[in-house]
Structure 1
Amino acid sequence: MIRSWNIRGLNGFSKQRAVRNWISNSSLGLIGLLETKVQQSYLQSVVSTVCPSWQFLSNVMDSIACRILVCWDPSLYFVDSLHFSLQEVTCRVTHVSKGFSFGITFVYGSNDLRNRRNLWDFLRDQAAEFDSEGLPWLVLGDFNAILGASDRMGGDLTWYGYVDDFGHCIHDTELIGFPFTGLRYTWHNSQQGDGIILWKLDWVFASLSWFIDRPTTVSEFQPRDVSDHSSMVVRFGSRRGKVRSPFKFLNFWVDRANFMDIVQTVWDEPIVGNPMFRLTQKLGLLKRKLKSLHVRDSSHISSRVIEARAQWATAQANLDRDPLSTECISQERNLANRYFSLCRDEEAFFKQRSRVQWLNLGD
């Protein structure tokens, strides 16, 4: 389990106690604290108070207080710093007992849009590096940015051109937003009435390889406490177990009269999230619908053909005995049509499979 929180200052007793309770109550092993405002000379003392015996690294500099503080339990994780700047700390993390590794970037985006563009460029470069290594990548924190108009309420609602920069970055890096529970708007300006402003500034994303390795990972945005930001928690879930047979799209499904109705019904499903998340969720729903269609109509196609041929033969014999029966006439034609339809499906299936085999074997 991993957590990140824009704590808005970690020098006071109440903030330190809140983080200490936060760690002990949730059995955490790795955390990222944002906007700590702790000077370099006090970092060791603060970490010793908040999480004794833990190790840490930060992006603190001589003239700038710590903006991002990363702490971890060395009995659970080995953390290797890869890069840090004013807006991010990026590490390679290895689980000590289970041995799996992943990349992680804790983000605290600048309030200045020009500086944030530096962050977007870095994330693009980092995505390419982790992708070349095949290393799953987790990105979380306070981005000081929104993806869509629905991510804010109150204040200036004008959609300026630079607001699109964040969405373009997520698109370019091919990061996917986690399913989440808890608060949608993660920042509150502590006002009321007409002055209230709510924004979703805190996000959790991961690379596709992360979801392939740990498809059940979820995130939660918890109620605000001593900060005006919600804290976020990432629960890994179990790693992928036995690999199931890959999903195969059968071309002849398109010829089904209800195929487009199935697709349209799935695409009309209301799903909340960024565009990439909505797309992947709808593709997953469509896959399940098509699997159900397959089980019902086209699985074990050759066996279905043999069975349909036997049923048609029986219907022909019944019609031969009673050629004036409207029921026998109708049944014989219906079973004949079903048999020929299944024959076409079988032929299409084996043609498709032979093309796949030809591609695999280079015959």
Structure 2
Amino acid sequence: MINTIIWNIRGIGSRGAFDRLKKITHIHKATFVALQEPFVHNAVINKNKIQKYKRKLGFTNAVTNKNGKIWCLWDDDFKCKVISDHNQQLTLEIQHSSHNEGFVVTIVYAKTSSRKRKRLWENLRTLNSHINKPWSIMGDFNNIIEAEEKQGGRQHRLSRSLEFVGCMDDCNMMDAGYSGDKFTWTNARRLRGRILMRLDRVMYNDHWSQKFPIVNTRHLPRTGSDHRVLLMKCDSKEPPRTKYFKFLNFWTEQDDFMDMVKNSWHSDVRGNPMWILQQKLKRLSNCLSHWSKNSICNVFEKVKELEEQVEKAEARYTTYNTDLNRSLLHSKYVEQIYWVNKETSMLRQKARIKWQEEGDSNTRYFHSVIRQKRKKAQLYRNKNEQDQWIQGDDKIADAATRHFSKLFS
């Protein structure tokens, strides 16, 4: 688990801002903290100041970018190396003690001028040509992607987002999403003069998605700043998935399929028609699951097993050129093709994509889409009946049970 805090703090020297940072770092057990605009203008002074705040926050390592406007602090779980130092970004190659493969993090603090931001986009594109690892770009981009990410003020023109969107697209980045309030920045004015925008965000590439199946980003309150705190939690462990019954199309090709279905369906069930239908479907799904497990076995394991058997049969026929070995090899070929067709049928059905039309050219893209769908299906927080946020699988399950029990009773 990697817990990261990203905050455009606008002045760490104020007592309130520092106390809030210290508190959220402790509450969320942050292992990596990135700060923008600590409001110490002199870069040399800034590099000295960071050592002081590093000790106060309980971290053992720290680094700043060349103009001192981006700070990164981390604990002993990480080994970090600066691979790019720019006025608007700081890029670190990070090695975590629990992971063999390293990953790259870029902390962004973009200029307010679109002309000056062009240098940032060019710099990120250059980085992309050299990075072939899990990579995440996070921080204050001072830009939005779509008009819905702004409220108040003049209407946003999409032409102002094209360079930002184009850069992220060239770097193969996708938005990590978020929970909490949509807007991360406010101009703090009242009534009609107030403007809200989503200037801060977390982006990552597909390699990052593979390395960290769980990526959860929250927008915390903006107490002490005009920017919200971003909390990103990444976990390399796959979340446990509930296995639901799924009907496999190739079952219908089995010789004993119809007999098994008839025997299950004709069993006696008493009650009203809807109850009878529900109970028969439930019994049939259980029978199909047991039948598939006992009669058909694991298709993927069978394909691997036959691959080894065919390899041995080919070697035997090469060494001993006899009619018997030739016949055995051909029978293994037939059996392998039979099970590979079953596997192909399952994969087509699972992906719900017309593989025969698309071919293998977009396999990487398809897997990326599947991973993103799984991420969107994960539920980390939910509001209960008292409109309070709750976390944890058990608490969310209890709240859902109470809600639907009350709804249907």
Structure 1 residue 22 corresponds to structure 2 residue 20:
no
Q: Which residue in the other structure is 2:136 paired with?
A: 138
| Count of aligned pairs | 267
2:207 alignment partner, one of 204, 209, 215 = 209
Deviation of residue 306 (structure 1)?
A: 4.7
SS of the counterpart of 1:203?
Answer: strand
**Structure-2 separation of matches of 1:201 and 1:350:** 49
Q: Which residue in the other structure is 2:251 paired with?
A: 300
- Segments of 5+ residues of structure 1 without an aligned counterpart are 245-290, 313-345
2:63 alignment partner, one of 57, 62, 65 = 57
Within a 5 Å distance, the mapping from 1:29-108 to structure 2 comes to: 29-38=31-40, 39=42, 40-49=44-53, 50-61=56-67, 66-73=68-75, 75-108=76-109
- Distance change in 2, residues 1:299/1:47 (3 Å): farther
- Segments of 5+ residues of structure 2 without an aligned counterpart are 263-336, 346-354, 361-409
- Distance change in 2, residues 1:307/1:224 (3 Å): same
**Structure-2 separation of matches of 1:227 and 1:144:** 15
- Distance change in 2, residues 1:192/1:213 (3 Å): same
Within a 5 Å distance, the mapping from 1:139-158 to structure 2 comes to: 139-158=137-156
SS of the counterpart of 2:129?
Answer: helix
Q: Which residue in the other structure is 1:125 paired with?
A: 126
**Structure-2 separation of matches of 1:53 and 1:168:** 36
Name the aligned partner's letter for residue 97 of structure 2: V
Q: Which residue in the other structure is 1:12 paired with?
A: 14
User: Is residue 15–residue 226 contact of structure 1 (8 Å, CA) maintained in 2?
Assistant: yes
User: Is residue 183–residue 230 contact of structure 1 (8 Å, CA) maintained in 2?
Assistant: no
Taking only the aligned residue pairs, the percentage that are identical comes to 23
- Distance change in 2, residues 1:98/1:158 (3 Å): closer
Name the aligned partner's letter for residue 230 of structure 1: R
RMSD, aligned CA: 3.2
Q: Which residue in the other structure is 1:222 paired with?
A: 220
**Structure-2 separation of matches of 1:6 and 1:239:** 30
- Distance change in 2, residues 1:15/1:353 (3 Å): closer
Deviations 1:261-312 (A, max 9, x none): xxxxxxxxxxxxxxxxxxxxxxxxxxxxxx97xx325043432x55349999
SS of the counterpart of 1:4?
Answer: strand
Query: What TM-score, normalized to structure 2?
Result: 0.59
SS of the counterpart of 1:60?
Answer: coil
**Structure-2 separation of matches of 1:181 and 1:9:** 26
**Structure-2 separation of matches of 1:193 and 1:238:** 44
**Structure-1 separation of matches of 2:59 and 2:178:** 31
**Structure-1 separation of matches of 2:102 and 2:200:** 24
SS of the counterpart of 1:37?
Answer: coil
Q: Which residue in the other structure is 1:234 paired with?
A: 232
SS of the counterpart of 1:9?
Answer: coil
**Structure-2 separation of matches of 1:205 and 1:213:** 14
Name the aligned partner's letter for residue 185 of structure 1: F
- Distance change in 2, residues 1:108/1:298 (3 Å): same
